[in-house]
């Protein structure tokens, strides 16, 4: 193949994006079937479940979602009565978000399903392959962070 042609099927960003999208779509069937959640709603729920009280800006940064997607997800979760907003006492432009008891129940219901879903993928790998894949992902995240400010999982 000519050096001036890019074969997308071998281009790392393309491969990672396709893989991430395929896995994410497959997992979305679980939370969509169970609760009718969209991908941004799930990511917002999961971020709040993990961190407790946080802001929409922090959710966007953590989940790499655009602020309009976070805003819509917050609105939908609030409509379900799964999320509460509280204005910041110092800065009225900031709202602190947290899950309600119903939101916490939904989150706790989905956590074991998410872990089981992940385990099914990792089970297809040997211990060595699993360690290699997870290590490679961390290295790629670190390399992306050096270029873009992206923070690897667990290093934010």
Q: Residue 23: how many CA atoms within 13 Å on its side-chain side?
A: 13
- When pLDDT is cut at 50, 70 and 90, the band that residue 17 belongs to is very high
For the whole model, what pTM was predicted?
A: 0.86
- When pLDDT is cut at 50, 70 and 90, the band that residue 141 belongs to is confident
What kind and span of H or E run contains 99? Answer: strand 95-99
List pLDDT tens digits, range 71-90: 999 999 999 999 999 998 88
pLDDT surpasses 70 at 154:
no
């Amino acid at each position: 193949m000519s050096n001036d042609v890019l074969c997308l099927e071998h281009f790392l960003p393309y491969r990672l994006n396709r893989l991430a999208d395929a896995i994410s779509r497959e997992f979305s069937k679980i939370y969509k079937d169970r609760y009718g959640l969209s991908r941004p709603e799930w990511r917002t729920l999961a971020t709040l479940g993990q961190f407790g009280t946080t802001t929409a800006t922090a959710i966007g940064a953590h989940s790499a979602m655009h602020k309009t997607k976070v805003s819509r997800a917050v609105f939908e979760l609030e409509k379900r009565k799964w999320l509460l907003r509280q204005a910041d006492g110092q800065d009225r432009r900031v709202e602190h978000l947290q899950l309600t008891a119903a939101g916490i129940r939904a989150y706790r219901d989905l956590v074991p399903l998410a872990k089981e879903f992940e385990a099914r993928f990792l089970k297809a790998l040997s211990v060595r392959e699993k360690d290699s894949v997870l290590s490679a992902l961390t290295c790629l995240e670190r390399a992306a962070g050096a270029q873009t400010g992206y923070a690897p999982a667990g290093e934010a």
